[in-house]
Chain A
Amino acid sequence: MTTPLLQVNDLKKHFSLHGGAFGSGAATVYAVDGVSFSIEKGETLALVGESGCGKSTVGRCILRLFDITAGQVVLDGQRIDDLSAGALRPLRRRVQVVFQDPFSSLNPRMRVRDILAEPIRNFGLAKSAADLEARIERLTDVVRLPRDAVKRWPHEFSGGQRQRIGIARALAAEPDLIVCDEAVSALDVSVKAQIVNLLQDLQRELGLALLFISHDLAIVEHMTHRVAVMYLGKIVELAPKRQVFSGPRHPYTQALLSAVPVAEPGAARRRIILKGDVPSPINPPKGCRFHTRCPYAFDRCRIDEPPLKPTASGHLAACHLHDLPAAQNPLALVA
């Protein structure tokens, strides 16, 4: 078996809060608490979940924007989580990022040309000044920006075009993996479609792998190959997209899918309304983290934390219901 492009093993990222007078109220936020997955070359893996589930933190740990608390991040067979800044530098080129907000993620005092030239220079990719210009020109073509865009400033562009600049900047380093952190969430419907199509085209042409972090399930279904669903710092389900969307194997995924409003007036749907809010990651519930909102929770869920393991249908899911005989498993009936 070939090594995957990226492997994340039991990743943990905890933040300590120094609250209260004299630090007496110090607490720990368990933002990411044991997450494992891999991404193959040219593959898209989507990380979905609601706000505060830790999906963006996972992205940032992979980018080494955060130092991780425990676990491993392995890029092409090499551990990168414990490398020194100097040793990491050449590897940084291979993993790039596109952020959500195209307004705050571009330096307003740099022209588009300089924004694109910076990574090319940093990683010494251009052989000559002429090569640099040619690369910049090619990048604007690839993301379908007008050629004269390079002379302009970020504020002169609309949100969609800024996101194109952000994508061009990520591509400038010739990466193998791009982390798209809610990269299309802030865009309007019609512009979102343009950027989604662009990302798909680029992936096909350049063989890029994408880690697509999003809360928009319809976009995720459209874009991705595999899906990992996160809840309170853990992956609760991981499977190829068709399996997840046709027959979710975790009650949370099921509820999440049923909660998405569907653009079909009068469509009869069984909606599972989850009670209450997501518990705080400072003090996550014991046992299964979802048990406080799960409609199927039973005694064992409150004590035992279910591991992520293969189910009969080939998904990875973290739910005790799959240990029950099929006839008693409410999740097995939905297909």
Chain B
Amino acid sequence: MALLEVENLQTHFRTPDGVNRAVDGVSFHVDEGETLAVVGESGCGKSVTASSILRLVPEPPGKIAGSIRFRGTDLLQLPDREMRRVRGNDISMIFQEPMTSLNPVLTIGRQLTETLRLHQRLGKRAAEARAQEMLQLVGIPEPRRRLGEYPHQLSGGMRQRVMIAIALSCRPKLLIADEPTTALDVTIQAQILDLMKDLKSKVGAAIILITHDLGIVAEVAERVMVMYAGRKVEEAPVAQLYRTPRHPYTQGLFGAVPKLGSSLSGEESRLSEIPGTVPSLKQRIPGCVFAGRCAVATDFCRQSAPALELKAPGHLAACHYAPKEALAA
């Protein structure tokens, strides 16, 4: 059984000028100990998908429908009280902005022990000892002194380490990381990615990594799901996706990113553009969501939405024209 099974997730927001279909019928699963990357551009619904799993979407104006089964229990059916037990304990989250997601008026120690005392029912002493251990685990020097410090006394990279320590302190089964390194400099990003890889093997949690950086995906993920305009358009094991992306949007994304080392091969190629912009999610799109920007779209694409289809083993794509490999029976 998969650790997390999301089925036909629809997260819609009521706005003054119509319903915004931020996530519109997305299904996926995460296995124990697996790293799934969710890739897409801003507004594609990747962060809303993550917040929906933890039910962090304000309702109203938001509305979540579908089912989110975590080890067999549908999280959407849980009473608030029990949902609170899941958050931070079984499933925890790291946010992009380590500055705004830590409480500026509480010490690091207080924020770390809060989770431990609440979820693990640890006493004050035990929680402090554990907090110190966690800081050590995420590579913060002098953990004892740091426990008494406030977030503003730490650098961005340090703060993100503290966030990771808090997220992992209860040994969650699933960690959702929403753009965990986007706000950091590259050399610090390298440190944090390294730390996450290292901790994954130590703690053994499954990770949903939300990012727009195809380089990070390649280094960290095992499976990738590509989202566009609130829908899942492609899903595949990471190596396969990078070798043969099948959806025109995914292909477009790969063409639009310059590769480091491009000048060494001597070719000065032009970046390929995806013309136009993402469609508004406030109108219902009858056909393929990408048809308006797709080079190979036909009238058929504009009228009928392509279903996600198995194009190769483990490789799903939602495109009428994506080539299909002969599947072994």
Query: Which residues does A use to contact B, with CB under 8 Å?
Result: 50-51, 158, 160-161, 188-194, 196-197, 200, 215, 217-219, 221-222, 241-242, 245-246, 255-267, 271, 273-274, 277-278
Contact residues of B between 227 and 285, Cβ < 8 Å to A:
238-239, 242, 252-264, 270-275, 277
Q: Could you list some 28 contacts between A and B, CB below 8 A?
A: A160-B277, A188-B41, A188-B42, A189-B41, A191-B41, A192-B256, A193-B256, A194-B275, A215-B185, A218-B257, A241-B263, A242-B264, A256-B187, A257-B260, A259-B186, A260-B186, A261-B193, A261-B218, A262-B215, A262-B260, A262-B261, A263-B215, A265-B238, A273-B187, A273-B190, A273-B194, A274-B187, A274-B190
Please determine whether A263 and B217 come into contact, CB atoms closer than 8 angstroms.
Answer: yes
How many B residues face the partner with a CB closer than 8 A?
45
Please determine whether A260 and B188 come into contact, CB atoms closer than 8 angstroms.
Answer: no
CA A24 to CA B216, docked complex, whole Å: 46
Please determine whether A261 and B215 come into contact, CB atoms closer than 8 angstroms.
Answer: yes
CA A273 to CA B192, docked complex, whole Å: 10
CA A160 to CA B275, docked complex, whole Å: 11
User: Provided the pairs A50-B185, A255-B187, A256-B187 are in contact, do residues A193 and B261 lie with their beta carbons within 8 angstroms?
Assistant: no
Hey, which chain A residues are within 8 Å of B190, CB to CB?
258-259, 261, 271, 273-274
User: Provided the pairs A242-B263, A273-B194, A277-B158 are in contact, do residues A263 and B257 lie with their beta carbons within 8 angstroms?
Assistant: yes
From B158, B191, B212, B218, contact of A265 by CB (8 A): B218
From A193, A258, A261, A278, contact of B272 by CB (8 A): A193
Hey, which chain A residues are within 8 Å of B259, CB to CB?
218, 262-263
> Told that A222-B258, A222-B263, A256-B186 touch, could you supply 7 new A-B pairs with CB distance under 8 A?
A50-B186, A50-B188, A161-B277, A188-B42, A194-B274, A242-B263, A264-B218
CA A277 to CA B185, docked complex, whole Å: 10
Most buried by B among A241, A255, A262, A278: A262
Hey, which chain B residues are within 8 Å of A194, CB to CB?
273-275
Q: Mark B147-181, 1 if CB is under 8 A from A, else 0.
A: 00000000101100000000000000000000000
B107 within 8 A of A: no
- Could you tell me the distance in whole angstroms from the C-beta of B27 to the nearest C-beta in chain A? 24
Hey, which chain B residues are within 8 Å of A196, CB to CB?
258, 271
Hey, which chain A residues are within 8 Å of B194, CB to CB?
271, 273
Most buried by B among A217, A241, A263: A263
B80 within 8 A of A: no
Please determine whether B188 and A189 come into contact, CB atoms closer than 8 angstroms.
Answer: no
Query: Which residues does B use to contact A, with CB under 8 Å?
Result: 41-42, 155, 157-158, 185-191, 193-194, 212-219, 238-239, 242, 252-264, 270-275, 277
Please determine whether B253 and A190 come into contact, CB atoms closer than 8 angstroms.
Answer: yes
CA A271 to CA B42, docked complex, whole Å: 29
Please determine whether A218 and B186 come into contact, CB atoms closer than 8 angstroms.
Answer: no
A267 to B, closest residue via Cβ: B218
User: Provided the pairs A262-B218, A263-B214, A264-B218 are in contact, do residues A190 and B187 lie with their beta carbons within 8 angstroms?
Assistant: no
Please determine whether A50 and B187 come into contact, CB atoms closer than 8 angstroms.
Answer: yes
Interface of A is mostly: helix
CA A263 to CA B241, docked complex, whole Å: 11
CA A266 to CA B220, docked complex, whole Å: 10
Please determine whether B260 and A221 come into contact, CB atoms closer than 8 angstroms.
Answer: yes
- Could you tell me the distance in whole angstroms from the C-beta of B172 to the nearest C-beta in chain A? 25
User: Provided the pairs A263-B217, A273-B191 are in contact, do residues A197 and B261 lie with their beta carbons within 8 angstroms?
Assistant: no
- Could you tell me the distance in whole angstroms from the C-beta of A191 to the nearest C-beta in chain B? 7
CA A331 to CA B96, docked complex, whole Å: 35
Hey, which chain B residues are within 8 Å of A265, CB to CB?
218-219, 238-239, 242
Give the 10 A-B residue pairs with the shortest CB-CB distance, closest first: A261-B215, A222-B258, A193-B256, A259-B190, A50-B185, A190-B274, A188-B41, A193-B271, A263-B214, A259-B186
A262 to B, closest residue via Cβ: B215
CA A191 to CA B260, docked complex, whole Å: 19
Please determine whether A263 and B258 come into contact, CB atoms closer than 8 angstroms.
Answer: no
User: Provided the pairs A193-B256, A222-B258 are in contact, do residues A261 and B216 lie with their beta carbons within 8 angstroms?
Assistant: yes
Please determine whether B274 and A193 come into contact, CB atoms closer than 8 angstroms.
Answer: yes
A161 to B, closest residue via Cβ: B277
Please determine whether B263 and A245 come into contact, CB atoms closer than 8 angstroms.
Answer: yes
CA A221 to CA B239, docked complex, whole Å: 25
Hey, which chain A residues are within 8 Å of B271, CB to CB?
193, 196-197, 222
A241 to B, closest residue via Cβ: B263
CA A191 to CA B42, docked complex, whole Å: 11
A220 to B, closest residue via Cβ: B258
Please determine whether A277 and B218 come into contact, CB atoms closer than 8 angstroms.
Answer: no
Please determine whether A221 and B253 come into contact, CB atoms closer than 8 angstroms.
Answer: no
Hey, which chain B residues are within 8 Å of A200, CB to CB?
270
CA A12 to CA B78, docked complex, whole Å: 61
Most buried by B among A158, A192, A222: A222
CA A246 to CA B41, docked complex, whole Å: 31
Please determine whether A245 and B264 come into contact, CB atoms closer than 8 angstroms.
Answer: yes
User: Provided the pairs A188-B42, A221-B260, A274-B187 are in contact, do residues A263 and B273 lie with their beta carbons within 8 angstroms?
Assistant: no
CA A219 to CA B262, docked complex, whole Å: 10
- Could you tell me the distance in whole angstroms from the C-beta of A145 to the nearest C-beta in chain B? 13
Please determine whether B260 and A218 come into contact, CB atoms closer than 8 angstroms.
Answer: yes
A280 to B, closest residue via Cβ: B155
- Could you tell me the distance in whole angstroms from the C-beta of A97 to the nearest C-beta in chain B? 23
User: Provided the pairs A189-B41, A189-B212, A263-B242 are in contact, do residues A245 and B256 lie with their beta carbons within 8 angstroms?
Assistant: no
User: Provided the pairs A245-B263, A262-B219 are in contact, do residues A191 and B277 lie with their beta carbons within 8 angstroms?
Assistant: yes
Hey, which chain B residues are within 8 Å of A190, CB to CB?
41, 252-253, 256, 273-274
User: Provided the pairs A190-B274, A256-B187 are in contact, do residues A218 and B214 lie with their beta carbons within 8 angstroms?
Assistant: no
Hey, which chain B residues are within 8 Å of A277, CB to CB?
155, 157-158, 188
Hey, which chain B residues are within 8 Å of A273, CB to CB?
187, 190-191, 194
CA A193 to CA B277, docked complex, whole Å: 12
